[in-house]
Amino acid sequence: MRTMKRAVLSLSRTAGRFTSGARMLPSFLIAGAQRCGTTSLYRALAQHPLLLKPVLHKGVHYFDVAYWRGLPWYRAHFPLRISAALLTHRYGARALAFESSPYYLFHPLAGARIAADLPGVKLIVLVRDPVERACSAHAHELARGFEDESHFEYAIELETRRLAGAEQLLRESPYALHHAHQHQAYLARGRYAEQLDRLEPLFGRDRILVLDSHLFFREPESVYERVLEFLGVPHLGYPAFERHNGRPLPRPLPRALEQALRDHFEPYDARLVRWLGEEPSWRR
């Protein structure tokens, strides 16, 4: 079964490369953050007839780990322009392609690459209680085999050493990969304001929508409406809202460790107010 699936994917990619010139490029990206509900939002938006997902899989990861493959390879992942034109004619509004790759927000070169290759593109970023996110990310990477330190507290103690020199390496060797930067940045990836500040000069404030994922799961309809307004897409009914890729949080953190982490994130969380328009839900 797995061999057949790989063969189908390979055939689809080959067909996509031959027809890449006739295919769309995305008008918006769900750029992160990891473990913040990106898959759930992606699947909700993909139910809208004018929002067209990649033809193979959710995250193409071109602007972070596959940039060396070139833009025709990236374009090959998206629907044909003729398909979009038919939908535009049917619904009287422009069809938009999109994808979701949560490492785009954190990778130091992804933002500039996106801005250069997709002029006018819009970005959607979801944020979550960074302490919960860190715990969830550790459990996620442990389950996927990308983390071998089973104790969360020890893993975050290792983080500074693991990430030392990672950004410099990625900037100096643009096609390099760094395992810890991608899979073991439990605290760094929760400092959302740092990453948003890096994107703002490239895209402008008006082309970046930041959403509180706790609000999305609590009031999905209102957040969905806000996303459609941001994208300029007509409301054609609500999708089925479901939680995807959820993972139960591990046992509660020791109180002292939790407080230390909340103190660590406090200044970064405070800077999210200008992006969210209100205090993050986990600070209220």
pLDDT for the residue numbered 21:
86
Entry pTM? 0.92
The average pLDDT across 42-49 equals: 97
pLDDT for the residue numbered 247:
62
pLDDT higher than threshold 50 for residue 7: no
Give 14's pLDDT tier (boundaries 50, 70, 90): low
pLDDT tens by residue, 136-194 = 999 999 999 999 999 999 999 999 999 999 999 999 999 999 999 999 999 999 999 99
The average pLDDT across 23-27 equals: 97
pLDDT tens by residue, 130-143 = 999 999 999 999 99
Give 248's pLDDT tier (boundaries 50, 70, 90): low
| The three-state (H, E, C) secondary structure of the chain, written as one string | CHHHHHHHHHHHHHHHHHCHHHECCCCEEEEECCCCCHHHHHHHHCCCCCEECCCCCCCCCHHHHCHHHCHHHHHCCCCEHHHHHHHHHHHCCCCEEEEECCCCCCCCCHHHHHHHHCCCCEEEEEECCHHHHHHHHHHHHHHHCCCCCCCHHHHHHHHHHHHCCHHHHHHHCCCCCCHHHHHCCCCHHHCHHHHHHHHHHHHCHHHEEEEEHHHHHHCHHHHHHHHHHHHCCCCCCCCCCCCCCCCCCCCCCCHHHHHHHHHHHHHHHHCCHHHHCCCCHHHC
pLDDT for the residue numbered 104:
98
Give 9's pLDDT tier (boundaries 50, 70, 90): very low
pLDDT tens by residue, 73-89 = 999 999 999 999 999 99
Domains in the chain (CATH in brackets) are 10-237+256-280 (3.40.50.300)
pLDDT higher than threshold 60 for residue 233: yes
pLDDT for the residue numbered 245:
66
